[in-house]
Amino acid sequence: MPYRVLLADDHKIIRDGLRSLLEKEKDMVVAGEAENGRQALQLTRKLNPDVIIMDISMPDLNGIDAAKQILGEQPGVKIVALSMHSEKQFVEGMIKAGVSGYLLKDTAFEELVKAVRLVCAGKKYLSPDITEIVLQDYKQPPDANDHQPANLLSSREREVLQLIAEGRATRVIADILHVSVKTVETHRKNIMDKLGLYTVAEMTKYAVRHGITSIE
C-alpha cells in the first residue's frame, strides 16, 4: 500500500509542485491538500493520512499549533515540517509539537522523499541545517532569563491571538472557532493579561515575533 500524503501549505504553487513530484513515486499517493492549519486538521480527521507535509506559516492556524492538535488527536500520524524558516523558535516549536521531520524549502526533492519514507518507518529526520540549529541549542547553557510568555497561553488562546493578529473581527473569530462572542472576548482579555499587551498592534507584533503568525 502506498503512503497516503496530505499536503498543507497556503501557497497553491507549492502544493501543485509537490503533488506533481510525489505522484511520480510508486510508494506515495497524495490523499489531499490543505491551504491552512485548520483545514489540515479537518482533512486529517477525514482522510487519515500516513504523513503530512506541513508548512509553518499558514493563516487561520499555524503549522505549530495545527501539529499539536493533530498529534493530540491522532498520535500515529507522521508530520514532516517543510518550511522556509530556520529560526530557533520555529524549529523548537515544531519539534516540541511532536513532528517527525523538519526540512527547509530549499531542500532537494530527493531529500524530502527520503524523509517521508524514514518517518513512515518510525524514524526521525532533520535536514543538516536544522540538525546544526538543534545541536547549537544543546551546546549553549540554559539562559535563566530566556522565558517565553507565549508558553503561558493555552492552545485556544494561541488560536485567538493568531486570528486577532490577522485582522479577524471578534464575530468572525467566534464563527471560525464555533464559540460565542463572549468566549472570544474572554480569551482576548486573558491573552492581554498574561502577555501584558493591551492593543491589537502590540499583539500583532508579538504574534509575528514569536512565529504564531507571519505578515507576508
C-alpha cell at 155: 492552545
Looking at the domain assignment, is residue 96 inside a domain?
yes
What is the per-residue pLDDT across 125-146, written as a single tens digit (0 to 9) for each? 998 888 877 776 655 555 444 4
**Model-level pTM greater than 0.75?**
yes
Q: Tell me which residue of 83, 93, 69 sits closest to 151, measured CA to CA.
A: 93
Range(s) of the domain holding residue 29: 3-139
Query: How far is it, in rounded angstroms, from Cα 62 to Cα 25?
Result: 28
Whether 177 is in a domain gets the answer yes
Residue with the three cell numbers 509539537: 97
Same domain, 36 and 133: yes
Which residue ranges of the chain lie beneath pLDDT 70? 136-151, 215-216
Q: Are residues 86 and 192 in the same domain?
A: no
Residue with cell 464555533: 178
Instruction: Check residue 141 and give its pLDDT.
Output: 55
